Amino acid sequence: MSGANSVKEDRLWQRHADMAKLGGTAKGGVNRQALSAEDAAARNLLCSWAKARGFAIFTDAIGNLFVQRAGSDAKAAPVVSGSHMDSQPTGGRFDGMYGVLAAFEALEALEDAGIRTKRPVMAVAWTNEEGSRFQPGAMGSAVFAGIYKLDDMLAVKDWKGVVLKEALADTLKAAPAPLRDGAPGFAVDSYVEAHIEQGPRLENEKKTIGVVTGIQGSRRYIVEVDGEEAHAGTTPRAARKDAYAAATRIAAAMYEATTDADDTLRFTIGRVEISPGSPNTVPGKALFTIDMRHPRNDVLDSHEQKLKDIVAAQAAPCPATITRLTNVAPTDFDPAVIDLVRAKTNELRLSNMDMPSGAGHDAMHIAKLCPAGMIFVPCERGISHNEAENAAPGDLAAGARVLVEVLEALANR
């Protein structure tokens, strides 16, 4: 039996259904934000499956969770595959979870087929990929890759002021796993991440597998505007320092400045906060977040300058600042891994196309450490970051079949 033939579509689908109960929402999605009780429950479930198969588990100081199937050469660096189990507040059941469960399915398929590999093969669930509760996202993989400092990340607070270090301690208490000593990070031979596409291209082109060539660059910012609280009924326009009015002027100018002719630049204001949030007080403070993405760094640079100029020009009479929180350069995946994914997909006679990723993934950080690549499968109407997110069991299994063949080949190099 080959690894691919040992992938069980029903088992993989059932695992998605079991995970979807943890943080499940009335609309069929999940709210399983990073380092929440629901995240801990997902970790426990994954660990219980791993233990049942006799796989080793361990975690690290940022809470990344690893499941290891031993290789014949105990000293050889592992081949790693995975993604994330945390979700958006109104997330779907496949974003991230598919990559973790496909990797786990690959480990099980290797086990069921009795395939010995030279290198260990690991499944990983990276901590806080989504970055909706704690910013920045793709945090666990970035700490693992040495891109963000562990101590800086432990000090991050969520929107309610909860410190990440405390939330992580609570999570690891509720979902204990042996701690690997030292700072996060160890030698990895290669990394392959499976994920739903989160866009419509595979479905539109009727292809089963996306051979992912790279990930576009992304930056996050926060704009903070200071005004002056005043009575809504009595304060004349000239006397107002309305922080929200300034924020909306800034935002409107930014939408216009980021509307490109070829619709490649992605600009999103996803969170707005107004203080004190009283209907009859002129807002004294306003803030909003910006997520901006493009495949080219120079385009991101020039638009960043435009955003700064807009804040300077539109804020008066309210002082305002724009702060860049993250800057992840575009990623090119390793040509040999891309070729291997394409070759294994063709061997399995699955339709496929090369494509870049619009979404960010943990693979963009791990690609700094070792040869890396990704495998995409279609999702219904390209809908993601939405409770309605859906994917076909057959497509999920097809991606897992490609994954196990790729991992086996890498683990026997």
Residues 204-243 that bind ligand GLV (CB under 6 A): none
189 binds ligand GLV (CB under 6 A): no
284 binds ligand GLV (CB under 6 A): no
131 binds Mn ion (CB under 5 A): no
130 binds ligand GLV (CB under 6 A): yes
359 binds ligand GLV (CB under 6 A): yes
Residue 195: CB minimum distance to Mn ion, A: 6
Output 7 or 138, the one with its CB closest to Mn ion: 138
**Alpha-carbon gap, residue 216 to 219, rounded angstroms:** 10
95 binds Mn ion (CB under 5 A): yes
Among 99, 217, 360, 371, binds ligand GLV (CB under 6 A): 360
389 binds Mn ion (CB under 5 A): no
395 binds ligand GLV (CB under 6 A): no
Output 246 or 328, the one with its CB closest to ligand GLV: 328
Cα distances (angstroms) measured from residue 170 to each of 124, 132, 167, 227, 234:
20, 19, 5, 38, 48
199 binds ligand GLV (CB under 6 A): no
Output 99 or 371, the one with its CB closest to ligand GLV: 99
96 binds Mn ion (CB under 5 A): yes
Output 326 or 345, the one with its CB closest to ligand GLV: 326
Output 95 or 405, the one with its CB closest to Mn ion: 95
By Cβ distance, which residue is nearest to ligand GLV?
360
Output 130 or 395, the one with its CB closest to ligand GLV: 130
Output 19 or 407, the one with its CB closest to ligand GLV: 19
92 binds ligand GLV (CB under 6 A): no
Q: How many residues bind ligand GLV (CB under 6 A)?
A: 4
Q: How many residues bind Mn ion (CB under 5 A)?
A: 2
Output 117 or 198, the one with its CB closest to ligand GLV: 198
By Cβ distance, which residue is nearest to Mn ion?
96
Residue 359: CB minimum distance to ligand GLV, A: 4
366 binds ligand GLV (CB under 6 A): no
List residues binding ligand GLV (CB under 6 A).
Answer: 130, 137, 359-360
List residues binding Mn ion (CB under 5 A).
Answer: 95-96
